[in-house]
Amino acid sequence: MQKTTLVKTAITTLVLSAALVTGASAANLGRGTITADSLNLRAQPTTASSILATAPKNEVVVVLGEAENNWYPVQYNTTQGYMLGDYLTVETVGEDEPVYAYVNTGCSNLNMRSGAGTGYSILAKIPGGTTVPVAETLDGWYKVTYSGSTGYVSSQYVLLAADESGAVAAASTSSVGSEIVAYAKNFLGCKYVWGANGPNCFDCSGFTKYIYAHFGYTLNRTATNQLSNGVSVSRTELEPGDLVFFKYQTSKPVSHVGIYIGGGYFIHASSTGGKVEIDTLASGHYCNVLVYARRIV
């Protein structure tokens, strides 16, 4: 099991289409609320284009610019595409309620520059996992504010979010994954005991096995053996409900396992904390020792 301090992360699938965020002039961002029972996100501004995702009624998406032929460029969860304006209520955001950018660089910092390009001077270095307000887009760059200064960051390294929590970056395509997270949180504070299987105390793999069993999924007992469950996903593809594995001071493939809950956080039975708790992956120990992720559902 791990024996270090607990730290932060937010790594999620990043699907960026440069055409949606670049252009000859600055574009204001906005929020769009789905008014139909569901609305398709398409790869191109036409109903003949492929469907990238489907958003339910009342879901909020980030609007990336003005509509053309009634099609808005938008970001839904971490995917960018187009939605038909007939089924969107769109509002332009202002300084009092901006759209936010989640810095998706893992353990690394992101340069904030004085202009929209790599040739401009660096004003600040924004740590991975930070959420900053966005004023506008310009040629593939976002104008943001950080630590009292305003500058530009490349859209390639951030995820847009409708609020300061960065929740859009963490949205899951699996409703079961979200249910797993909600159920796991019921056990926050339960004591860590090596070899324990629940329901009042757990070790790390006993916790993940117990949570998944509630939903009808059988996991292997140890963290190492749980590497054989599910399918592999990269750290940039993490969704709520995925298992995250860590390796620290061991000859085994892994030494610890937890459940990703979104927004860069995971829940686990921690030997260091002595209980079930939520921690993050944005920097420090957990960012450095995260080695695998597996999707069970």
CATH architecture of residue range(s) 175-295:
Alpha-Beta Complex (3.90)
Nearest CA among 9, 1, 2, 3 for reference residue 284: 9
**pLDDT confidence of residue 151:** 96
Q: For 54, what's the count of Cα atoms within 13 Å in the CB-facing half-sphere?
A: 5
Cα–Cα dist 211/203, whole Å: 12
**pLDDT confidence of residue 160:** 79
Q: What is the dihedral of CA 221, 227, 232, 234, to 10 degrees?
A: 110
Cα–Cα dist 113/124, whole Å: 7
Low-confidence ranges of the chain (pLDDT < 50): 1-24, 168-173
Pairing verdict, β 290-295 and 231-232: antiparallel
What are the boundaries of each domain within the chain? 30-92, 175-295
Structure-block tokens of residue 37:
């029972």
**pLDDT confidence of residue 43:** 93
**pLDDT confidence of residue 15:** 32
Cα–Cα dist 235/214, whole Å: 25
Which CATH number applies to 30-92?
Answer: 2.30.30.40
pLDDT in tens, 94-131: 656 678 888 877 667 899 999 999 999 999 999 877 88
Q: Output the pTM of the full model.
A: 0.52
**pLDDT confidence of residue 174:** 54
Nearest CA among 267, 246, 256, 243 for reference residue 190: 267
**pLDDT confidence of residue 279:** 85
**pLDDT confidence of residue 52:** 86
Cα–Cα dist 211/237, whole Å: 21
**pLDDT confidence of residue 154:** 92
Cβ atoms of 104 and 81 closer than 8 Å = no
> Cis before residue 199, ω within 30 degrees of 0?
yes
**pLDDT confidence of residue 62:** 85
